[in-house]
């Protein structure tokens, strides 16, 4: 929906520019003013009116008594609308954690620098410790695996830095930057190759798909922290 609104904004910005050029050239307006803001349909008709006293009726009365605040009008130029459109369509968010081993060894700064250098924007980050139960909730997909206990004890063994990262193709690109789960098999120059000691203590976590990224972001961050 937002992409559609932005496309419309690009068109409107182009129309406005055309209108301005026409006025400059001929001194006459093309008369392409935007529709008045208040042309949006008002709730109307009595046939849809809910039964008096019903929950819906009380809700409708409440909404009418407290109408939503008017939304500010955003005026896009063609360039700014195209920029926002590109960002809306291309950018993706992923979730990552600097794990307790890397924090303990003082590698947080170097890992964040490598992430930023690779073009990721750090949308949100915090330092915290989690309980074993919270680690179990986070890694619930691995509950049946033999390393589950070791993994969740390790993840709750000290401070971590959970974070939300953004760039185009963020999920796949971060996995590439992290390297293989087992640092012995990780490619040269990857974060795990440089900073991880073993498959269990491997410095960094990264979401592996869109659905897991959405779950993991929501597990650690509230919407208000993600503007």
The residues that are catalytic are 205
Tokens of 8: 């419309």
Residues 126-155 that bind ligand ATP (CB under 6 A): 142, 147, 150-151
The Cα 60–Cα 7 span in angstroms is 33
- The CA–CA distances, whole Å, from 124 to 202, 210, 222 equal 22, 18, 10
The CB-of-185 to ligand ATP minimum distance in angstroms stands at 11
The CB-of-79 to ligand ATP minimum distance in angstroms stands at 38
Please check whether residue 155 is in contact with residue 208, taking contact to mean a CB–CB distance below 8 angstroms.
Answer: no
- Of 100, 162, 183, 206, which one interacts with ligand ATP (CB under 6 A)? 206
**Which among 96, 99, 89, 102 has a CA at the least distance from the CA of 121?**
96
**Per DSSP, what are the bridge partners of residue 138?**
none
Nearer to ligand ATP, 81 or 206 (CB): 206
The CB-of-113 to ligand ATP minimum distance in angstroms stands at 20
Residues 144-203 that bind ligand ATP (CB under 6 A): 147, 150-151, 181, 199-200, 202
Number of residues that bind ligand ATP (CB under 6 A): 11
Task: Decide: helix, strand or coil at residue 92.
Answer: strand
Nearer to ligand ATP, 29 or 181 (CB): 181
Nearer to ligand ATP, 96 or 124 (CB): 96
Instruction: Answer yes or no whether residue 119 interacts with ligand ATP by CB under 6 A.
Output: no
The CB-of-199 to ligand ATP minimum distance in angstroms stands at 5
Calculate ∠ Cα 128-133-137, nearest 5°.
Answer: 90
Tokens of 85: 């459109």
Rg (CA), the chain: 26
Beta carbons within 10 angstroms of residue 192's beta carbon: 23
Which residues of the chain form contacts with ligand ATP (CB under 6 A)?
142, 147, 150-151, 181, 199-200, 202, 205-206, 208
């Amino acid at each position: 929906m937002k992409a559609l609104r932005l496309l419309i904004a690009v068109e409107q910005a182009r129309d406005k520019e055309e209108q301005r050029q026409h006025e400059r050239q001929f001194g006459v307006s093309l008369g392409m003013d935007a529709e008045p803001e208040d042309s949006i349909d008002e709730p109307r008709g009595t046939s849809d009116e809910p039964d008096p006293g019903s929950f819906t009726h009380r809700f409708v009365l409440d909404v009418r008594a407290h109408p939503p605040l008017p939304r500010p009008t955003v005026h896009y130029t063609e360039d700014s609308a195209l920029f926002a459109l590109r960002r809306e369509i291309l950018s993706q968010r992923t979730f990552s954690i600097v794990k307790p081993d890397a924090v303990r060894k003082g590698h947080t700064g170097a890992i964040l620098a490598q992430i930023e250098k690779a073009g990721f924007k750090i949308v949100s980050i915090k330092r915290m410790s989690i309980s074993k139960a919270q680690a179990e909730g986070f890694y619930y997909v691995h509950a049946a695996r033999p390393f589950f206990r070791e993994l969740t004890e390790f993840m709750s063994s000290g401070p971590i830095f959970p974070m939300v990262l953004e760039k185009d193709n963020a999920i796949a690109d971060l996995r590439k930057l992290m390297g293989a789960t087992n640092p012995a098999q990780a490619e040269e120059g990857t974060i795990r190759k440089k900073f991880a000691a073993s498959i269990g203590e491997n410095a960094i976590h990264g979401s592996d798909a869109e659905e897991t990224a959405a779950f993991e972001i929501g597990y650690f961050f509230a919407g208000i922290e993600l503007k």
